[in-house]
Structure 1
Amino acid sequence: MTAKILFSSKKIDSVTKEQLQKMLDRYNLGELISFKQTEKGVMKQTIFVSSTSGDYVLKGNPIYEGQFVEEKFFIDHLKARTDIPVPVPYVLDEMKDIFGWPYAIMPRLPGVHFNDPKIEAAMTFNDRIRIARVLARALAEMHAWKSDIFGEFDPIHNTLRPFQGSYQNWLFNEIRFWLEDAKKYSGISQADKDWVEGLLESSRNSFEELQSAAFVMGDFKPENILLQPVEQDWNLCGIIDFTNSYFGDPIADLAKITVLYLDKGEEEFVRHLLSEYAKLTNANVALKERLIIHILYRKVLDWGCAYAINNVTWSKELSFKEWASEFIDNKLLGLIN
């Protein structure tokens, strides 16, 4: 389930003080002081819990069987293999006697989300460049975790499950699937499909050259990154939420944050992020050819989602090809040519 797009209504609707105290008692975590829903959790699965022994994050009501087993696998391995700050110990309780669903409890990491409006308003140009370099180093370190298997973790059998066929075929078919799905909500023409197929074909050799898979976080964005300003620099305090992690092309992790910050007009931030990552990983040629495809995947999802929920923020006169190629040709390629 990790590499699939999850549209889920599951969330933590409500918990009581009594339930939370029972959870704290089970792990000798002191007396409950306060609790509140987290602001950044898209799936609404997380609650901040403060007790006399410290601050914690409760993650509950899994959106699929084994979600927390899977996340614990990635967190524990990243802790053992890297210096990336992750929320450990990640304690998993699969019993349902307290809340009615399995849950995980982990320490709340320090730091701030660098897209917080107050933080962004106080940032200088140099702050943005330093943050880009911190993020590039973090990605390079996580991506050093390699695997012979292109696939996802199977929490039921506690093993890596290869994608059906090659990684390239899996990725290309995912893009085709969601483009076809977008036809339910918007006009997708044959010209749109032909343009997409042309991009896929032009990148085929680059994907065929991938010899081994790397860890891919799958959701690398400001809401899952915690930083702290220190003197004239920024420290990485934590990376959280590994529900969408898998093993594939590590360049995929650059797509979401690239789209987000180019859409905000932060070209220099993206330029430094990509160039620093390329230097650290020797991914110069592959970065251009494969990032285009991962960006294309992102744009297919964004297009379909916007039309599905009636939240289109661009002219509906634009075709998908016109809308997505404007981003790829004008915003992206100018930074990585």
Structure 2
Amino acid sequence: MTTKIYFSTNQLGHVTNEQLQLMLNRFNLGRLVSAQKTSKGVGNQTLFVDTDSGRYVLKGNPLYAEQLIEEKFYVEHLLKYTSLPVSSPYLVDESADIFGWSYAIMHRLEGVHMNDPIYRAESSEPDRREIAAISAKILNEMHTWKVEQYGELEPMTGTIRPFEGSYKKWLYNRIGFWLDDAKQYSVISPSDMKWVEEVLSDSEQAFDRLCAPTFVMGDFKADNMLFQYDNTRLEWRVSGIFDFTTGYYGDGAADLPKMVIMYLELGEPEAAQHFIETYLLGSADKSFFAERFRVHMLHQCILNWGCAHAIGQVTWDPELSFSEWAKTYVYAADFVKE
């Protein structure tokens, strides 16, 4: 299901021009002009495909059987509930006769990623501040999609499968699972464990009172958004948002940590704060925000810590304990006043 975390993906492998043309013929999308790998593709699952009728993205060899059906559901419902620029139509072919796996094809969205080195070199601080605010407003709009139940989507029925026990139980158990997993690759000391328990305990009331399940993208980050500068209005605008493979229904605050981490790692704490402030200004779920954010950020920090140690790519001071390293991120929203 969507909340399962994948640390590796099924890659497209070698795709021939003949196969691509068969795919294009199936959907009447014209004659193949060129194809190339995407620079920020999801685990090498995507390919840019240009034809004489338009520009498209192929996404194939899904991680799990219903991945593409699930993503199609989210795209269609975001079109229904928001004005966000998602790629539509999202065409799915469940047969495997062309490539050996099912695939989806969609219109290519144009724009620049906010973490693109060229954009960062050429953009000003006001530009980056403006895009931080736009990113927050994307989440505000996305989180207007409210549902009645916390849980995961059942793609074939379009229904929600509730989390076992409660949303809080599911989230806290998940944090515990990945913390135990991180112990296989790194030192998690008793003082680290005590701190984690304190963060979770201090936030329990916030989750006990939470009663507004919303769509959560689950992977809201710079790689999954595109922006363009509007020369008429003289302002930036979002031109694309994509990759809903990890969507579910939970607390919208869970979508903030990856962006906040990015800004802090870039040495832009003011942008991180502006992102949080703008999100809160437009959010309908302000109660106990700082407490909820701490838990979601703790969750992300545990994942990042465990993964970095497992693959030998620790980019911070290796002498730092987990809690010493994570506190900067976990308390990043503590400036918020109820």
Unaligned runs of 5+ in 1: none
Q: Deviations over 1:79-107 (max 9, x none)?
A: 11110010100000001110000000000
Q: In the superposition, relative to structure 1, how do residues 334 and 197 fare at CA in structure 2: closer, same or farther (>3 Å)?
A: closer
Any idea what SS the aligned residue of 1:105 has?
Answer: strand
Residue identity opposite 1:258 in structure 2? V
2:284 is the counterpart of 1:286: no
**1:217 corresponds to:** 217
Q: Deviations over 1:200-231 (max 9, x none)?
A: 01001111111120010111111100110113
Residue identity opposite 2:122 in structure 1? A
Q: In the superposition, relative to structure 1, how do residues 246 and 136 fare at CA in structure 2: closer, same or farther (>3 Å)?
A: same
Match of 2:262 among 249, 257, 260: 260
**2:166 corresponds to:** 166
Any idea what SS the aligned residue of 1:146 has?
Answer: coil
What does residue range 303-314 of structure 1 map to in structure 2 within 5 Å?
A: 303-314=305-316
**1:124 corresponds to:** 124
TM-score, normalization: structure 2? 0.96
**1:236 corresponds to:** 238
Q: Deviations over 1:102-133 (max 9, x none)?
A: 00000001211111111111111111121112
Deviation at 1:328, TM superposition (A): 3.2
Any idea what SS the aligned residue of 1:147 has?
Answer: coil
2:311 is the counterpart of 1:297: no
2:192 is the counterpart of 1:181: no
What does residue range 51-70 of structure 1 map to in structure 2 within 5 Å?
A: 51-70=51-70
How far apart, in 1, do the equivalents of 2:325 and 2:275 lie? Answer: 24
How far apart, in 1, do the equivalents of 2:81 and 2:284 lie? Answer: 21
Any idea what SS the aligned residue of 1:114 has?
Answer: coil
Deviation at 1:316, TM superposition (A): 2.6
Any idea what SS the aligned residue of 2:288 has?
Answer: helix
2:307 is the counterpart of 1:274: no
Q: In the superposition, relative to structure 1, how do residues 126 and 308 fare at CA in structure 2: closer, same or farther (>3 Å)?
A: same
**1:248 corresponds to:** 250
Deviation at 1:137, TM superposition (A): 1.4
How far apart, in 2, do the equivalents of 1:327 and 1:77 lie? Answer: 32
Q: Deviations over 1:272-308 (max 9, x none)?
A: 1111111111444432111111111111011100110
Unaligned runs of 5+ in 2: none
Deviation at 1:334, TM superposition (A): 6.1
**2:45 corresponds to:** 45
Q: Is the 8 Å Cα contact of residues 47 and 58 (structure 2) preserved in structure 1?
A: yes
Q: Is the 8 Å Cα contact of residues 271 and 336 (structure 1) preserved in structure 2?
A: no
Any idea what SS the aligned residue of 1:119 has?
Answer: helix
How far apart, in 1, do the equivalents of 2:217 and 2:171 lie? Answer: 16
Identity %: 49
What does residue range 64-83 of structure 1 map to in structure 2 within 5 Å?
A: 64-83=64-83
Q: In the superposition, relative to structure 1, how do residues 213 and 282 fare at CA in structure 2: closer, same or farther (>3 Å)?
A: closer
Any idea what SS the aligned residue of 1:336 has?
Answer: coil
Any idea what SS the aligned residue of 1:35 has?
Answer: strand
Q: Deviations over 1:37-75 (max 9, x none)?
A: 111014110000000010000000001110000000000
**2:154 corresponds to:** 154
Match of 1:323 among 301, 322, 325: 325
TM-score, normalization: structure 1? 0.96
Q: In the superposition, relative to structure 1, how do residues 230 and 10 fare at CA in structure 2: closer, same or farther (>3 Å)?
A: same
**1:6 corresponds to:** 6
Q: Is the 8 Å Cα contact of residues 260 and 272 (structure 2) preserved in structure 1?
A: yes
Q: Is the 8 Å Cα contact of residues 24 and 32 (structure 1) preserved in structure 2?
A: yes
**2:139 corresponds to:** 139
Deviation at 1:149, TM superposition (A): 0.9
How far apart, in 1, do the equivalents of 2:141 and 2:328 lie? Answer: 32
Any idea what SS the aligned residue of 2:152 has?
Answer: strand
How far apart, in 2, do the equivalents of 1:42 and 1:97 lie? Answer: 23
Deviation at 1:165, TM superposition (A): 1.0
User: C-alpha root-mean-square deviation of aligned residues, in Å?
Assistant: 1.4
Q: In the superposition, relative to structure 1, how do residues 273 and 156 fare at CA in structure 2: closer, same or farther (>3 Å)?
A: same
How far apart, in 2, do the equivalents of 1:237 and 1:23 lie? Answer: 26
Any idea what SS the aligned residue of 2:320 has?
Answer: coil
**1:336 corresponds to:** 336
How far apart, in 2, do the equivalents of 1:326 and 1:190 lie? Answer: 19
How far apart, in 1, do the equivalents of 2:86 and 2:19 lie? Answer: 26
Q: Is the 8 Å Cα contact of residues 212 and 285 (structure 2) preserved in structure 1?
A: no
Deviation at 1:327, TM superposition (A): 3.7
